[in-house]
Amino acid sequence: MLDRFNNPALLEQALRHRSAGKPHNERLEFLGDAVLGLLVSEALYAKFPTASEGDLTQARSLLVREPVLADIARERDLGARLQLGPGEMKTGGHRRDSILADAVEAVIAAVYLDAGIDAARRLVAEWFGPRLQLVPARSAGKDPKTRLQEWLQSKQHPLPAYRLVQATGSEHERVFEAECLIEQLAIRTQGRGSSVKAAEAEAAQQALILLGKAK
């Protein structure tokens, strides 16, 4: 879809970080955040016709968050297409969750401006589709670590072990990687986030997906 822009300058701007000069993607990021929130809300509203407002809000929060957006950017290799200034290039900005997540939102906005809401909806369905199918509604009020612990306890399995793998980035933009290990089930997953807690939660969510318990 990204190779069919009527106005390629929009896509170029969406992939230009502010460190690379103007016009950069911050305004597009602002718009893309709103468009993505609307389209994910719309998809969840249709998927869970009996879910409460609170459940829908929690389900949306599982999808529209930095680690998820950054993972989608990596799946689509957006990092390799980013325009970054020399400083960000030197410090590995194309791998940083915050920059990747912002690029996803900016690209969604660029598609919306270039081809309209239906095109943006198709892009969100393509990029978020598998996650939309797996996201829980009724249990979304509980964080992934709690849901994983409760399921393991219900099956009389040992609780998972969490380990901090590494922390990268500058002091003000740290990215943490954590591991979730369920040795008895031979499950080892990783998660990334802007805090250790967020990274562990993402690792737990990946374990739930492997167990088929994320929905």
| Binding residue ranges for Mg(2+) | 29, 102, 105
Please report the DSSP string for 178-197 in residue order. Answer: EEEEEGGGTEEEEEEESSHH
- Among 33, 66, 71, 202, the active-site one is 33
- On whether the CB atoms of residues 103 and 14 are closer than 8 A, the answer is yes
C-alpha distance from residue 91 to each of 81, 133, 143, 191 (Å): 16, 35, 32, 21
Name the residue among 38, 64, 213 with its Cα closest to residue 139. Answer: 213
Cite the annotated binding site by residue number. Answer: 29, 102, 105
Active site residue 171: no
Active site residue 33: yes
SS3 160: coil
- Among 66, 88, 97, 105, the active-site one is 105
The residues that are catalytic are: 33, 105
